[in-house]
Structure 1
């Protein structure tokens, strides 16, 4: 959640940040009103509790009628104290919920506007000219059939729409990508992890996935647990309610995990193939660091993502995502979008977000700094590879006229030295 001091001391700044996301300032006004009501409730409870304690000291020394009056007042006051305590608890919860409804203020550098208002930072690689090469590119669905790599029909038969099987070369390609990604992350000093994919509500709420993203989350009925849509969730919650020694920062983790998303609101979008699916595997980077170093760490994460895409020999661009297209927790986000030949456009392949202290305030994660000062730390996340989309980009980018697919040199050692994925169907 946002720093309550910022809300109290500079509400206009928070309203301006809301406007940059395309949101009204009503949530800020509600939070300020809830804060006032909470402070009043606390003062009322403390006043009545102090009076109760004072009466408790007077009663043993009182006699006769005075004692009876004090006892009667104590009885009435006890009920008032209980009512005030209940009112304080309710006011605290209203204040908490009001704070939770306010997104992380977008960074000043983030472009204003919505989904289409991003800023292009850079472009990398060269888009293939298939016309000049003399053939029309096949899409990943057709290539997946030719290679015996993707079985969408049986995925739908067994699990429904937006599910699939990776078979043969497709399954080999997933494991190759995962192992290559983990090797790169280990080489950069990340600690590898395999986190749980079922989490309690606090982990989801603490990372901002029960707010605007709640409709996209799978909830396990009767267990009050959720399937995560990204390992960002269990990695952020890993140190919940802990105080980290500042000398151990940055702490960098990289996790492999399955991810589950309802894809709510995507009806009619990317219905063909495996670009937008309900389940996929992903390798995710995650960092705990100081607030002062968060912006630089954000660029480091972006650098590792670009290194990854360069190894895969993909044409891609980097965009600075507009404030209105940021998730609840992100103050700034960079996307790396790969060129998908048969779609004739760039599509998101990786992203990295700076969440500042938004998640750590929710999850109770702090650092102990010089002089014993204890304060929140920052969290950042960055996708290294989301398997289905990476496979889409690889197959379509590196396909040959005969339906085979060239394997980038960096990936070949992870595919038993194979230079080509060969067709298994004529």
Structure 2
């Protein structure tokens, strides 16, 4: 949720942000009208209540016709106060509902446009020339079958499309990637966490996932709980309704959890393999940060993500995501896109977002310093989304015989193994 004060004082900035995103500009005026109605209804209610309290003090001292007149007016006021209170409640509800529909304010410098209008900030590494090496690269599904590491057929048999089993070295590779990510997070002072994967509606709405992303969320209607699509959700809600001490900031958590996504809008996309699936595990970084430090913290998150992918020795590029491709809560987002040889292009494997005060206002997470009580800034960043990391590692480090070289940094997490070899 954005700051209502900003909306009142600089509505043109909010309109410009909505326009950049391709979201409704008219919504800004609707919210302003709702805010005016809300404040007017509060003033009317308070005026009537003040008169009602004043009369209640006069009645004991009045006599005769004066007292009868005061009693009659009290009866009228009682009905008017009740109606004003209902009007105030309804106006407040309308205002809050519309405020929740507004996206976060886009940070200055974010590229304009949609999904294809990102700006490439840097390219790291050079994709292998497999033709020069004398063989055609296999995709991760075929490599997984040769290594006994991925079983998509039985995944579909048991759970349906976009599910899979990681077996043998595939399962060990997942654990190795998670352990390497957690070790890196620990080295930078993150507190490791295993958060719940089922959350109440407030946590999901508070992080902005019941707006434009609602179609991708799994809901358990009988229990009114949601399966999270990222550990960002329970981590953001961890300190809800709390006031933190400024000296504690930044508070950094690294959550390891499954992520569940319906992929409702991805029909026909990435149907082969485990790149786009309904469930995967990942390690998510999260920070409760002082607003003045948010931009620097965002760059730190990106640097830590890059460090992890440098360790995997996979070519990648860093992009500044365009405004029209930002989630509702993000003011700015940087993506790392790894090179996938059999697709011949870069694909997103991690992202990091600065959500400013958008989530902390919804979840009431604040901090206290010498200037008083204010809302914290929240930031998130995926250190490793395991399924996509496995895809990138297998395809980029494959050998002609179907074996896969293990990056040096990952070897200690696989008992020193430097090569995965096909089953015989």
- TM-score scaled by length of structure 1: 0.98
Distance, in Å, in 1 between the alignment partners of 2:106 and 2:333 is: 9
**Shift of residue 24 of structure 1?**
3.1
Specify the alignment match of 1:34 in structure 2.
Answer: 34
Distance, in Å, in 2 between the alignment partners of 1:384 and 1:234 is: 17
Distance, in Å, in 1 between the alignment partners of 2:144 and 2:79 is: 71
What secondary structure, in the 3-state scheme, does the structure 2 residue paired with 1:253 have? Answer: strand
Asked if residue 384 in structure 1 is aligned to residue 421 in structure 2, the reply is no
Distance, in Å, in 2 between the alignment partners of 1:94 and 1:297 is: 35
What secondary structure, in the 3-state scheme, does the structure 1 residue paired with 2:300 have? Answer: helix
C-alpha distance after superposition, 1:162-184 (max 9, x if no partner): 00000000000000000010000
Distance, in Å, in 1 between the alignment partners of 2:55 and 2:251 is: 53
Specify the alignment match of 1:18 in structure 2.
Answer: 18
**Shift of residue 64 of structure 1?**
2.1
C-alpha distance after superposition, 1:233-274 (max 9, x if no partner): 000000101111111111111010011000011000000000
Asked if residue 419 in structure 1 is aligned to residue 392 in structure 2, the reply is no
Specify the alignment match of 1:396 in structure 2.
Answer: 395
**Shift of residue 63 of structure 1?**
1.3
Q: What aligned pairs does 1:19-418 form with structure 2 within 5 A after superposition? A: 19-371=19-371, 373-418=372-417
Moved more, 60-69 or 286-295: 60-69
Runs of 4+ in 1 over 3 A off after TM superposition: none
Where structure 1 has 5 or more consecutive residues not aligned to the other structure, the ranges are: none
Distance, in Å, in 2 between the alignment partners of 1:403 and 1:82 is: 76
Distance, in Å, in 2 between the alignment partners of 1:292 and 1:117 is: 29
**Shift of residue 115 of structure 1?**
0.3
C-alpha distance after superposition, 1:4-51 (max 9, x if no partner): 111000101110111111223111011000001101110110111111
Distance, in Å, in 2 between the alignment partners of 1:305 and 1:206 is: 25
**Shift of residue 224 of structure 1?**
1.1
What secondary structure, in the 3-state scheme, does the structure 2 residue paired with 1:292 have? Answer: helix
- TM-score scaled by length of structure 2: 0.99
**Shift of residue 125 of structure 1?**
1.1
**Shift of residue 62 of structure 1?**
1.2
Distance, in Å, in 2 between the alignment partners of 1:209 and 1:56 is: 49
C-alpha distance after superposition, 1:54-77 (max 9, x if no partner): 110111111122222222221221
Distance, in Å, in 2 between the alignment partners of 1:93 and 1:125 is: 52
**Shift of residue 93 of structure 1?**
1.0
What secondary structure, in the 3-state scheme, does the structure 2 residue paired with 1:410 have? Answer: helix
Where structure 2 has 5 or more consecutive residues not aligned to the other structure, the ranges are: none
What secondary structure, in the 3-state scheme, does the structure 2 residue paired with 1:379 have? Answer: strand
Distance, in Å, in 2 between the alignment partners of 1:64 and 1:311 is: 91
What secondary structure, in the 3-state scheme, does the structure 1 residue paired with 2:37 have? Answer: helix
Distance, in Å, in 2 between the alignment partners of 1:396 and 1:277 is: 18
Count of matched residue pairs: 424
